[in-house]
Amino acid sequence: MVCFRLFPVPGSGLVLVCLVLGAVQSYALELNLTDSGKATCLYAKWQMNFTVRYETTNKTYKTVTISDRGTVTYNGSICGDDQNGPKIAVQFGPGFSWIANFSKAASTYSIDSISFSYNTGDNTTFPDAEDKGIITVDELLAIKIPLNDLFRCNSLSTLEKNDVVQNYWDVLVQAFVQNGTVSTNEFLCDEDKTSTVAPTIHTTVPSPTTTPTPKEKPEAGTYSVNNGNDTCLLATMGLQLNITQDKVASVININPNTTHSTGSCRSHTALLRLNSSTIKYLDFVFAVKNENRFYLKEVNISMYLVNGSVFSIANNNLSYWDAPLGSSYMCNKEQTVSVSGAFQINTFDLRVQPFNVTQGKYSTAQDCSADDDNFLVPIAVGAALAGVLILVLLAYFIGLKRHHAGYEQF
């Protein structure tokens, strides 16, 4: 028997959707798989989304993020037997599916592989795809976990293959559950062992002794992402969060001294993830457009407010911080990234380069003042033309008056 439900991040309420596109709250998938005796044999709870780059009918390329799963089913999920290992099978949308396979050794079990299938024939997600059909991407993992341990990975894990980027985070999973009881012993992924990911908090967060509304300019922090031994993403910025929840507005300055960065760099996407003791994740996702420019495409946040509730918002349809590839984007003045009506980010002393970083240094910057200059140029030209027109009219009327006076004298 398969028992399933869509489980929200605490404090968000229970609804039957997860991770929808645009500015929405973020929800996790949860599966409790039971055997014929109704004892739990496999438990999993996780969040995921997918980014697919595809060719369009006019021979250009587009990138789409697949996170709106609508109605989800788990047909084909099994506890496993002597011939077949446990399997999580998820179906969503028209022709989309996801499968995770497990196996067992003497003292460990493994997450062997992940398979993701997407349907470019879905005109809602791929309205202008050149090739229509179901495409499957298989990834071999071989993640070994001690038997009777619960695997946890709060950090972002990214897989990239064949123009598909798979993102996973807040993962909890245990196959081969013993005696129907999910283990309290946790086995952490390597990323959680080496990074300073904020711990998952299931209770309320203590309120500070004072709750001032910060109006001062936030301190700028410097963040980076490495790919092996090389720096692949650089960001310097002061961040101020404007949050409205339950008609209560709050302004929060991010302290860079207690904020940590992780992320990933790919050929056409890059991620900067910030976290702290109260911020589970604040994601800045960059993308390449037209093969020659980059921009901020997506912002996701999940954080604990002082009243203990969780605030989660995602928007993958943004267009900020546009600059040529091979350069950085810079803006010293205050800017606002409007993620949704309930969440905006004010940035100060911003400089960011998510692609083509060389020797760990910023490349030549495109300043946001150039945008202002581009805006002022037509105004200046229009004003100059208006001035010339006025001078011409004045000269005309003066000449006309003198000519008329000459006739009267004659």
Domains 29-192 and 221-370 belong to one CATH topology: yes
Measured CA to CA, the distance from residue 231 to residue 359 in angstroms comes to: 7
pLDDT at residue 68, rounded to an integer: 65
pLDDT score for 3: 42
Of 306, 315, 313, 334, the closest CA to residue 248 belongs to 306
Instruction: Encode pLDDT of 299-318 as tens digits.
Output: 999 888 877 778 888 998 99
Q: What pLDDT shows up at residue 94?
A: 86
Domain range summary for the chain, segments of one domain joined by +: 29-192, 221-370
Report residue 13: phi and psi, to 5°.
Answer: 90, 160
Q: Is the pLDDT reported for residue 213 higher than 80?
A: no
Q: Give the chain's radius of gyration (CA, Å).
A: 27
What CATH number has the domain spanning 29-192? 2.40.160.110
Output the furthest CA–CA distance in the chain (Å, rounded): 122
- Confidence band, pLDDT 50/70/90 cuts, at residue 209: very low
- Buried (b) or exposed (e) across 278-305, using 16+ Cβ within 10 A? bbbbbbbbbbbbeeebbbbbbbbbbbbb
Q: Could you tell me which residue, 235 or 210, shows the higher pLDDT?
A: 235
SS3 141: strand
Residue owning tokens 């010339």: 388
The H or E element that residue 394 is part of is helix 369-409
Q: Cα torsion at 30, 33, 34, 40 (round to 10°)?
A: -60
Residue type for 52, please? V
Question: Please, what is the end-to-end C-alpha distance for the chain in angstroms?
Answer: 113
Residue 26: predicted pLDDT: 41
Mean pLDDT, the chain, integer: 82
Pick the CATH number of 221-370 from 2.40.160.110, 2.30.30.90, 3.40.1400.10, 2.40.50.140: 2.40.160.110
Query: Model pTM?
Result: 0.52
Per-residue model confidence (pLDDT) at position 305: 82
Per-residue pLDDT reduced to its tens digit, 61-115: 888 888 766 789 999 999 988 778 999 999 998 889 999 999 999 999 999 999 9
Residue 337's nearest CA partner among 356, 304, 313 is 313
What is 78-135 written as a DSSP string? B---SSS--EEEEEETTTEEEEEEEEE-SSEEEEEEEEEEEETT-TTT-TTBSS-SEE
* 322-331 exposure pattern, b = at least 16 Cβ within 10 A, e = fewer: ebebebbbbb
